[in-house]
Chain A
Amino acid sequence: MSSLSSADWSAVWLTLKLATVSTVILLLVGTPIAWWLARTRSKWKGVVGAVVALPLVLPPTVIGFYLLLAMGPNGPVGQLTEALGIGLLPFSFAGLVVGSVIYSLPFVVQPVHNAFEAIGRRPLEVAATLRAGPWDSFFNVALPLARPGFVTATILGFAHTVGEFGVVLMIGGNIPDKTRVVSVAIYDHVEALEYAEAHWLAGGMLAFSFLVLLALYGRRDRTGGGLG
C-alpha cells in the first residue's frame, strides 16, 4: 500500500466523504420525490420523472456546465448563496455535493420509486383502517416495506458518486484536499505518465465497484430493487 502517496490517500478520503454526505442528502431529497411519483395522479408526474432521469442520459459535462453557470457569481444560485453569506459554491466541497446529488439523483429515486409502487395501495389502506394517519403509515408501513429499494438506492447512490468524474472536473476543478477526488487523481497520474500510481487507484476503484455490485446482485431479497 506504500505506493499510495499522502495526496492520493487524501483523494480517497475526500471521495468517501463526498459519497457519504451526498448519499445521505440523496436519500433525504430522493425519498419524498419517489413517494410523490409513486402516489400522485398529477399531470406533472411525467415532467418531474423525466427531469429526475435526465442525468442518466446527459453527458456529465453538460450538467457540470450549467451547474457552474448557475452557481457562479452571475448565476441565480450563486447570487443567492452570496446574499446568504455562504459564498460561491464552485471549486468548493459544498459545490461538489450539490453536483453529486443532482448527478446521482435518478440512481436513488428510481429504486425507491419502484419499491413504493410495488407496495401498492393496500397496505396503506389497511394501516388507515387500523387508525394510522398518513405520516404514521409512511414511517411504519411504507418505509419498512420499501427497505430493499432503499438498500439498492443507497448502494447505487454511493457507488455512482464515487465514480463521478465529469461533473466534478467542471465545477470542482482539481484542488488537492478540497475537490480532488480519486477519479480526478487517476486522470492526473495518467497525464503525468505515472502509471504505477494510476494502477493503484484504478485497481482500487475496480475492486470497490465490483464488490458493490456483488453486494447488490448477490442479495437474496431483491424485491423492489434495481433500476427499471
Chain B
Amino acid sequence: MADDVRLRGMPPTDGPRQDAPGARQGIRIRLEVAFADFRLDVDLDLPGRGVTALFGHSGSGKTTLLRCVAGLEPAARGVLTVNGECWQDSARGLFVPPHRRQLGYVFQEASLFPHLSVRRNLEFGLRRIPAAARKVSLAQATALLGIDHLLERMPDRLSGGERQRVGMARALLTSPRILLMDEPLAALDARRKQEILPYLERLHDELDIPVLYVSHAAEEVVRLADHVVMLGEGRVMAAGELRATMARLDLPTAFTEDAGVVVEGRVAEHDDHYHLTRLDFPGGAVWVSRQVAELGRVLRFRVHARDVSLADHQVEGTSIVNLLPVVIDEIVGADTPAHVLVKMDAGGTPLVARITRRSSEQLVLRPGRRMWAQIKSVALLG
C-alpha cells in the first residue's frame, strides 16, 4: 500500500473553521419525512469530522436519512446544516437541490454509469466542479483506492469489489464537504468485504472529510466509526461517541443481544516466545495473539459481553490470560430473562459482561463493588 498517497490538498478543513466551536462546525440534522407506511423523524447534532455510523436494522430509516441529507427526498421537511453550510431550512423555504450540495454519495450497488468507462465515470463529477475547488486529483483517488489499472475498463468488466471502489473514488473526486456511504459493503461477499475494508480505513485515516456511514453490520460499525447513531423505526434510539454508545445498556434488546464494547489499545510489547502482543489502554492491558504492527500503533478491538466473566477475587490457576480489576457501574436485564448485562469501569475504559442472573445474585453484584473481569477473547478489528 502506497503510504505516500496522502491527500495533502485536503487539510483538516481550512483554517479557523477547524477549531471554531458550535455554530460553524458540525452536522445539524432536524428532519422529518412521512411515507405511506413509514415515518422518519430525527433530531441530531453530529460532529463535523470523523466517521459517524448510522446503525440499525433494515427498515430503521438509515438509508432514508442519508437520502434526506443528500436532498434526494424532496418531501423531507426541517433543517439541515453541514459544517456551516445550510442545505435545507423548510421554515425559510430553503432547499438546495442535490446537485448544488457539495457531497459525495456512495450507493449500495456502486451504480456506475454503464455507458461510460471507469475513467469517464470518475471524471463525471470531477469535470463538474470548478478547477479551483478540486482538492483531489484523479491520480490521488485512483491510487488511494487501488484502481489505477482499471481506468480503461467498462463497468460490466469489473468485479463487485472493484465497482464499489470506483464508486468511492468517483464520489471523492467531487471534493465533497461530506461523504455519504450507504452500506457500501452490503452487496459484497465476505471476501470482497475484507478486500474493501482496508481502503475504507485509509479513507478514514487520510482524509479529513466527515463521513456518514450507513450499516446494519455491527462489525463494520465498530471497525470504522468514531461516532454512532442507532436508529429504529425512523427514530434515534441512541447517539454518541462509539465506545460510550456501544457500552450503553439502556438500548432495546435488538442491540443488546450482540452487546459488547470497543476499545482502542496501543501496541506496547511483543512477546515472540509465546507469540503474543500486549495492547495498553486507559486502565489496563490485554494480551492478544501476535500482531504484525509496530510498537505504538493503535489497534481497535471489540470485547463481546458474552466473552467476559466476573470473579470476586483475582483467580489463580485459570487459562484465561486477561484479568482486569473493575468497578461495577450498573446491572440491567439482558435479551433473555436468564441473563443480565453488567457494565463496569476498568480504570476509565467501559466493559460489559453478559452473565446469568443466578451468578449475579450469588456474587452479590451491585454498583460500586470491585471485581475482577476475565476476558476470554477479544476480536481485533483490523
Chain A residues near B98 (CB-CB < 8 A): 125, 128-129
Within 140-196 of A, Cβ neighbours of B (below 8 Å) are at 140-141, 144-145, 147
A125-B72, A125-B98, A145-B114 known; A131-B129 Cβ under 8 A: yes
Number of residue pairs spanning A and B whose beta carbons lie under 8 angstroms apart: 59
Decide: B114 and A132 in contact? CB cutoff 8 A: no
Chain A residues near B270 (CB-CB < 8 A): none
C-alpha spacing A128/B174, complex, angstroms: 12
Scoring B residues 39 to 67 as 1 if CB is less than 8 Å from chain A, else 0, what string do you get? Answer: 00000000000000000000000000000
Decide: B107 and A136 in contact? CB cutoff 8 A: no
A129 is contacted by which of B105, B113, B115, B129 (Cβ under 8 Å)?
B105
Chain B residues near A204 (CB-CB < 8 A): none
A123 CB within 8 Å of chain B: yes
> Contact residue range for chain A?
10 to 19
How near does chain B come to A116, taking the closest CB pair, in angstroms?
15
Decide: A123 and B111 in contact? CB cutoff 8 A: yes
A128-B72, A129-B98, A130-B174 known; A136-B128 Cβ under 8 A: yes
Decide: A130 and B72 in contact? CB cutoff 8 A: no
Q: Which of B71, B104, B115 has the most CB of A within 10 A?
A: B115
A126-B107, A128-B72, A133-B99 known; A145-B128 Cβ under 8 A: no
A122 CB within 8 Å of chain B: yes
Decide: A141 and B105 in contact? CB cutoff 8 A: no
Within 22-40 of B, Cβ neighbours of A (below 8 Å) are at none
Scoring B residues 123 to 140 as 1 if CB is less than 8 Å from chain A, else 0, what string do you get? Answer: 011001100000000000
How near does chain B come to A212, taking the closest CB pair, in angstroms?
26
B214 CB within 8 Å of chain A: no
Chain A residues near B129 (CB-CB < 8 A): 131
Chain A residues near B171 (CB-CB < 8 A): 129-130
C-alpha spacing A141/B99, complex, angstroms: 14
Closest to A131 in B: B128
B97 CB within 8 Å of chain A: yes
Closest to B112 in A: A126
Chain B residues near A134 (CB-CB < 8 A): 99
Decide: A128 and B124 in contact? CB cutoff 8 A: no
Decide: A145 and B115 in contact? CB cutoff 8 A: yes
A130 is contacted by which of B71, B115, B125 (Cβ under 8 Å)?
B125
Decide: A129 and B104 in contact? CB cutoff 8 A: yes
Closest to B180 in A: A129
C-alpha spacing A145/B125, complex, angstroms: 18
B70 CB within 8 Å of chain A: yes
Chain A to chain B contacts (Cβ below 8 Å), 26 pairs: A123-B111, A123-B113, A125-B70, A125-B105, A126-B113, A127-B99, A127-B113, A127-B124, A128-B72, A128-B98, A128-B99, A129-B70, A129-B99, A129-B105, A129-B174, A130-B124, A130-B128, A130-B170, A130-B171, A131-B125, A132-B99, A132-B124, A132-B128, A133-B99, A144-B115, A145-B113
